[in-house]
Structure 1
Amino acid sequence: MHIGIDFGTSYSAAAAIVNGELTLVRFGVAEQFRTAVYFPELVPDPNDFALTPELEARLETQLRLLRAQQREMAAAAAARGQAAQSRSEGELRQEALRSVRRQWMEEQAREATASVASFQHALFGEEAVEGYLDSGGGNLIESPKSMFGYRLDPQVRKVIVHIATHILEHIRLTASRQFGAAVRGAVIGRPVEFRSSMGAAGSQQAIEILREAAAVAGFDEVSFLEEPAAAAMHYHKSLEARQHALIVDIGGGTTDVTHAHLGGDQAPAIARNWGLPKGGTDLDVGVSLHSFMPLLGKDIVRVPQHQFVEAASVHNLPKQREFRKQNYRLVAAPYGPRLRALQEPGATTRLNQLAERTKITLSTATSHCAGLDFLEPGLAVEAGSADLEQAIEPFLAQLERTLSNVRNDLPALPASVFLTGGTSRSPQIRARVQACFPEIPLVQGDPSLGVVSGLAVAAREAARCLVAAAHDASPAPAVASVG
């Protein structure tokens, strides 16, 4: 059986076409789940290497071996009448230290693999966040998709693959139980451009991570479809007459646009795609920086601006680790104590939840108060609708530039603009999209399920193609001749 999977930055969903009808996979009572996974065991950081008594003993053993090797090489060179190259004690110790650290990292990688592979202890979605906040330990990974396209050292990449594996296995097993059949194939949605530090190579790496993770998670057949193209397939079913349409999919991590020829009896035809590697998580970071971080000293104390960005970026593990390594003991009160409180386990996650809630509330309300008692008793943020507008304006400006480029690239204006993706719930987002195409009807699709619905259709077609290919490859039946 094949399913469509919308592996989202903020939320994930899955669906299949069953007996001709779209059927969503249910995760508990919900039709999607927050893309977060919590492991009670800590996933190790390679930067945590420190010499323990046991590692000191290993270091001395390795150092003795290197000294012995150097003496043997010197004796052999002398026997040949040659001068041997001699390294200092400091150089030998550095080599021994590198060897011990390499062994330690390999052991940590094996332990991380065993730990992360313990599927029965993992929690997903809101339960993952709650489990992490309740326990105060373990490891919570939010929005892992945001990291797929960034430069990763081999050990970190291995951990990221395991995290993606767990999420995909969670989806596959949940779907298999619901449908009463083994799910072995999937069409997975992908953005036009992944968030990346490596350009096109980052998107290629992201696909490789997803493909590798899907194989380990038990999928035998996997293909990928750009998310706005999937949303176009969903919109296509609702159009009786053929038309050119623009699909704007604004998700948690990326914004994708597709120009397509849809509707009628013909199959949907995708003409072109555009991508912006920004989305709803950037709005959350913007709200955090604008309304919350000034209470922690942003633009007030002599703390580099990037450290506040690192604190706000809960979806980026390397940035979170950098923030937690900072020393704020010399930062004057009240900001130093507040920053140190924000470095406590779970604090940045709580702050991000408040920023997200503030964004959602101020989308329709004029004011909102968010308590920060976990940082300091009585501390709170008072924000208004004007604060939200200032916080999200950088993203809105980038969205407007992207849509302006799209408009200039189109051979003719489309008949409609179909808006989908979780971030499209925002009235400010809808207004900005409409302002870019004022003369064209704006059709609001299902913010959460427009993409996964199209992926389910694509998954059904992928399954049919496999069946047809298997039939064509089967040997022809023997024909008996009668004499």
Structure 2
Amino acid sequence: MKAPSSLPTIGIDFGTSNSAVACRVDGEARLLPIEGTATTLPTAIFFNAEDRTTHFGRDAIGQYLSGTEGRLMRSLKSLLGSALMQEKTAIHDGLVSFEDIIARFLRELAVRASRELGQMPERVVIGRPVHFVDDDPKRDERAEESLRVAARAAGFREIAFQLEPIAAAFDYEQRVAKESIVLIVDIGGGTSDFTVVRVGPERAAREDRSDDVLATSGVHIGGTDFDQRLNLERVMPQFGFRHHGPQGREVPSKVFFELSSWHLINWLYAAKAVRQAKDLRTSYSDTRLHDRLMAVLEERHGHRIASAVEAAKIDVSLSDAPTAIDLGCAERGLTVSLSPADMAEQLASPLENVIACAHACVKRAGLRSGDLDAIYLTGGSSALRPFQHALRRSFAGVNLVEGDLFGGVATGLACAASTQLGA
């Protein structure tokens, strides 16, 4: 697909787990293929230490999992608003800011989009969560500004932002035949965002849609939090989480929380962190668990385990049947099971908070659940079976509509470009 030169603006859904790019062509918003024929790109960068090359997306993850020496970075969006954004990290022989690393990823998205557009896009509408950081407006502002600086460094001259659930509403609006009041539910990798919005064919052409947005809310809980929870509860006990040592004290838990958090795993591979983990051995009564922990850290298998947990979560949700998480990288033949009941139990608490945020959004709009015509789902984690069950119970009688779980926000951002940047 080659777009005419009059369409230099793209919409970017820079996600915690996956990213997507869309643009308007002949008046229609379309997703662009950005990795082969795929319209999503895992938000991952691998810095190859052997030949000093940089890899993105599935290629990045593949390089890492193949055992290539280097550094894998995922969940980059989770860094926005954190203290780490002010720091630099070692890449090859130099120190690179996390802002620059995000800029490199955005630049790669632009380059891949240019292959379809026939030119480098210089204008962009980027999606952002309702809150990068919960209950801290100043850090939230800094997070958006960091993303703006990164986008500028990536080569974009005109940059605008749109709330991700509002972008999803624009995508949903393209398929409705009459005016409706809809709760947009966007459960991404790092945040859960909600918007109550009035949509309809006649409203779609309006330049100012501010009156149609009845309420927004969001909470910093998403797919990576679900993964971490499952990792902690099902996998980390195999390495000593909640294990009591000779004197009855639990093994310090910090290492397990970091090992189950994508964006913190790399820090555990530093020499100092490995030494600290070795020193924990006296805290164990069963040193076999410590042997497993050290095997993971010394052989750098943290991301491999995190990927296995994520894959198991998806498998259980799709099949509604138990599956096994392979931990053979820590000890030959080691596996742990994950059943639908396990997943429902261990995700109950975070999902309760997510559902409460959805109800708060409806209440903020001055409505009750019965006033909603539909609930529109987008974001990969909205497909989780325990979440959909909880949503149906809590919003009984309201129609649930599944959108493009991975591309709906990007498509909506491309729609927003016409009003925000005049594209």
Common fold by TM > 0.5: yes
Q: Structure 1 residue 326 and structure 2 residue 277: aligned?
A: yes
Q: Structure 1 residue 310 and structure 2 residue 258: aligned?
A: yes
Q: Structure 1 residue 204 and structure 2 residue 211: aligned?
A: no
Aligned with 2:232 (options 289, 310, 317): 289
Aligned equivalents of 2:85, 2:327: Cα separation in 1: 36
Shift of 1:271: 2.1
Cα 1:242–1:139 change in 2 (3 A) is same
Aligned with 2:401 (options 443, 453, 459): 443
Length-normalised TM-score, structure 2: 0.86
Q: Give the corresponding residue for 2:92.
A: none
Aligned equivalents of 1:14, 1:166: Cα separation in 2: 15
SS at match of 2:61: helix
Q: Give the corresponding residue for 2:218.
A: 275
SS at match of 1:140: strand
The correspondence of residues 20-39 of structure 1 with structure 2, limited to 5 A, is 20-26=27-33, 27-39=35-47
The correspondence of residues 59-74 of structure 1 with structure 2, limited to 5 A, is none
CA shift digits 1:253-304 (9 cap, x unpaired): 1000001111131235212210111100111111111111111122223312
Q: Give the corresponding residue for 2:167.
A: 230
Q: Give the corresponding residue for 1:385.
A: 340
Q: Is the 8 A contact 2:217 2:360 kept in 1?
A: no
Aligned equivalents of 1:277, 1:319: Cα separation in 2: 22
Q: How many residues align?
A: 388
Cα 1:195–1:315 change in 2 (3 A) is farther
Q: Structure 1 residue 335 and structure 2 residue 272: aligned?
A: no
Shift of 1:401: 1.9
The one-letter code matched in structure 2 to 1:259 is: V
SS at match of 1:315: helix
The one-letter code matched in structure 2 to 1:281 is: T
SS at match of 1:464: coil
Compare the two structures and name the one with the higher strand fraction: 2
Q: Give the corresponding residue for 1:179.
A: 117
The correspondence of residues 301-450 of structure 1 with structure 2, limited to 5 A, is 301=244, 302-316=250-264, 320=268, 324=274, 325-327=276-278, 328-330=280-282, 331=284, 332-363=286-317, 364-412=319-367, 413-450=371-408
Q: Give the corresponding residue for 1:79.
A: none
SS at match of 2:130: coil
Aligned equivalents of 2:348, 2:120: Cα separation in 1: 46
Q: Give the corresponding residue for 2:93.
A: none
Moved more, 247-256 or 328-337: 328-337
The one-letter code matched in structure 1 to 2:364 is: D
The one-letter code matched in structure 1 to 2:14 is: F
Shift of 1:29: 2.1
The one-letter code matched in structure 2 to 1:37 is: I
CA shift digits 1:65-101 (9 cap, x unpaired): xxxxxxxxxxxxxxxxxxxxxxxxxxxxxxxxxxxxx
SS at match of 1:405: helix
Aligned equivalents of 1:238, 1:227: Cα separation in 2: 18
CA shift digits 1:383-434 (9 cap, x unpaired): 2222111221121111122123233333222221111111111122112122
Q: Structure 1 residue 167 and structure 2 residue 111: aligned?
A: no
Aligned equivalents of 1:287, 1:205: Cα separation in 2: 31
Q: Give the corresponding residue for 1:16.
A: 23
Shift of 1:34: 0.6
Q: Is the 8 A contact 1:39 1:138 kept in 2?
A: yes
Aligned with 2:48 (options 8, 27, 40): 40
Aligned equivalents of 2:422, 2:190: Cα separation in 1: 32
Q: Is the 8 A contact 2:216 2:361 kept in 1?
A: no
Q: Give the corresponding residue for 2:198.
A: 261
Shift of 1:147: 0.9
The correspondence of residues 448-463 of structure 1 with structure 2, limited to 5 A, is 448-463=406-421
Aligned equivalents of 2:354, 2:85: Cα separation in 1: 32
Q: Is the 8 A contact 1:136 1:345 kept in 2?
A: no
Q: Give the corresponding residue for 1:122.
A: 54
Provide runs of 4+ in structure 1 moved above 4 Å.
317-325
Aligned equivalents of 1:223, 1:338: Cα separation in 2: 47
Q: Unpaired runs of 5+ in structure 1?
A: 43-114, 466-483
SS at match of 1:225: strand
Cα 1:168–1:248 change in 2 (3 A) is same
The one-letter code matched in structure 1 to 2:55 is: L
The correspondence of residues 459-474 of structure 1 with structure 2, limited to 5 A, is 459-464=417-422
Cα 1:149–1:345 change in 2 (3 A) is farther
CA shift digits 1:147-193 (9 cap, x unpaired): 11112373339621111111110011111111112211100000001
The one-letter code matched in structure 2 to 1:156 is: K
Aligned equivalents of 1:204, 1:344: Cα separation in 2: 38
Q: Is the 8 A contact 2:215 2:361 kept in 1?
A: no
Q: Is the 8 A contact 2:48 2:68 kept in 1?
A: no
The sequence identity of aligned pairs, in percent, is 32
SS at match of 1:447: coil
Q: Is the 8 A contact 1:16 1:460 kept in 2?
A: no
Q: Unpaired runs of 5+ in structure 2?
A: 1-7, 90-95, 245-249
